[in-house]
Amino acid sequence: MQEHDEFYRTLCSSETLRSGKKGFFHDFSESVMRIAGDTWTSRIFGRIDDDADRVRAIFADAKIRDVVVDTLAKVKPLFRDKDADISKRRRLEGYQLAAVGQYDKALLLFSQAVLRAPQLDKNKTVDQGMSLPLALLGRAEIFMTLKEYHFALEDLRLAAEHDLPDKSM
């Protein structure tokens, strides 16, 4: 499990979570940093190496804790159900974009296909119940094209956990 956690931690890099563009994570972190101040951010928080200790430091300071808790209390979970039809559509759209060299957009669509794919055999009427491993295989192809071999190998390993026909692999 630790290996998967590290894979997704790398994939969800700081650029993904806090890009230069405006958005929730950007605004949230700016707000917390403004309340905390440069001194606290660099001398206290910046010197902590452990995530658990970072969380403790945030909650040990009342004004920082208040802005974090107030903001997070307003966050509503966003959840989209698994849907084999949507997964298949995203996967096929990804192949179409890959065919014309739009690999970054194809990667996004294949990732959406992975996210929306139900577990194996949940919906056998679409892709014979193989939506997830097929989406992983497609995304692995894009990762290989982009020379992101580590990510491609991880997707191939995940796909191989399912009993795919030999021709698929």
Q: What is the CATH number of the domain that holds 99?
A: 1.25.40
Give the model confidence (pLDDT) of 22-34 as tens digits. 677 778 888 888 9
pLDDT per residue over 58-84, tens digit each?
Answer: 999 898 999 899 888 888 776 678 888
Residues 52 and 93 in one domain: no
* Interacting residues of 79 by C-beta distance below 8 A, sequence separation 6+: none
pLDDT band at 21 (very low <50, low <70, confident <90, very high): low
Query: For residue 127, is it within any domain?
Result: yes
Please check whether residues 88 and 68 belong to one and the same domain. Answer: no
Same domain, 7 and 65: yes
Could you list the residue range(s) of the whole structural domain that residue 64 is in? 2-73
- What pLDDT, in 10s, does the model give residues 80-110? 788 889 999 999 999 999 999 999 999 999 9
**CB-CB contact of 110 with 94 (8 Å):** yes
Token readout for 26 is: 């950007």
Please tell me whether residues 67 and 91 are part of one structural domain.
Answer: no
**Residues making up the chain, counted from first to last:** 169
Q: Domain tally for the chain?
A: 2
How far is the C-alpha of 88 from the C-alpha of 136, rounded, in Å? 12
CA distance 140 to 16: 20
Burial of residue 164 (CB within 10 Å: 0-12, 13-18, 19+) is middle
Q: What is the C-alpha end-to-end distance of the chain, expressed in Å? A: 23
Using CA atoms in the order 39, 41, 47, 50, what is the torsion angle rounded to 10 degrees?
A: 150
**Full-model pTM:** 0.55
Q: For residue 118, what pLDDT band results from cuts at 50, 70 and 90? A: confident
Residues 62 and 88 in one domain: no
Residue 6 has pLDDT above 60, yes or no: no
Q: Is the pLDDT of residue 17 over 50?
A: no
**C-alpha closest to that of 64 among 95, 94, 86, 39:** 39
Q: Are residues 121 and 56 in the same domain?
A: no
